[in-house]
Copies of this chain bind each other. A is one copy, B any other.
Amino acid sequence: VIVTLLTDFGWADHYVASMKGVLYSVNPAVRIVDISHDVRAHDVGQAAYLLDACYCDFPMGTVHLVVVDPGVGSPRRALALSAGGYFFVGPDNGLFGGVVETNADARVRSIEPDLASSRAVSSTFHGRDIFAPAAAALAGGQPLDELGPPAADVVALDRHRPSVDADGEMESRILHIDRFGNCITGYRAEDFPDGKWNDWIFSVGTHEISRTRRFYAEGSDGDPFVIEGSSAYLEVAVDRGSAAESLRAATGDVVTAKRRVSR
């Protein structure tokens, strides 16, 4: 069974290694895959975006262990979820809002550390002391329901699904800026009538982006364009350049869409 790791621990400390050591100690048969450890410190929204973007690419039964946890040691709940054929483990701070919203079969439990592990629990590193043992237990076949009581009202973040304003324009935001400077927006083709997002013009700040492309290298100029990205979100991109730099855009910036005027 695969356990993925997604944290804001970076690679320069031993924190990720400690979690892996615990995972292997509890369950030597587990296979570990790093999603990312470069989430900005304490940035729950970025981690939720990355999780939503890739959890379905893994084999069914995979356990996704997510630790971006500024509230470690406080009374915030520790969650274990089953949803869409996957398991999820981490703090209840918004990481799993998207998973719960998009999977009707989601079952959520509040982890009681004693039920997941006999390990002593620090007040500063639940990734090692609670979440990794719980993930290893799930990977080893322990039933979800044995980890703790049912939990309702999972914390959710605003996912910036498009909304229509008074003028008939749509509005969303930049969810993420990737390594290449591509600005991934909250729009999906399905949000537009008949899926025809090409009939709309997008704006970020004062920049209007009217070009569209099917693939990044289609055409040779350096102007920004809109493209349907690999996670089904529309992106603003520049071929072999950074759209984020061209547009001076940041995660969270508003992206509006209005219908093209027929000429």
| A residues apposed to B, CB below 8 Å | 2, 4, 8-15, 17-18, 20-22, 24-25, 28, 31-39, 41-42, 50, 53-54, 57-59, 62, 70-74, 122-125, 128-129, 176, 178-180, 214-218, 227-231, 239-240
Contact = CB atoms under 8 A, between A and B. Distances in A.
B124 A230 contact: yes
A72 B217 contact: yes
Contacts of A13: 36, 50, 176, 178-179
Given A9-B179, A216-B124, A54 B229 contact: no
Contacts of A12: 36, 38-39, 178-179
A124 B180 CA distance: 13
Given A124-B228, A179-B10, A57 B17 contact: yes
A73 B218 contact: yes
Given A179-B9, A180-B41, A214-B73, A54 B24 contact: no
Given A18-B53, A41-B180, A123-B214, 15 more contacts: A4-B17, A11-B38, A12-B178, A13-B176, A14-B35, A18-B54, A21-B33, A24-B31, A25-B59, A28-B59, A57-B128, A122-B230, A124-B228, A124-B229, A128-B230
A136 B100 CA distance: 31
Contact of A215 (B11, B32, B124): B124
Contact of A34 (B4, B17, B18, B125): B17
A42 B215 contact: no
Interface centre among A13, A74, A128, A228 (most CB of B within 10 A): A13
A229 B228 CA distance: 45
A209 to B, nearest CB: 17
A50 B41 CA distance: 20
A58 B16 CA distance: 12
A24 B17 contact: no
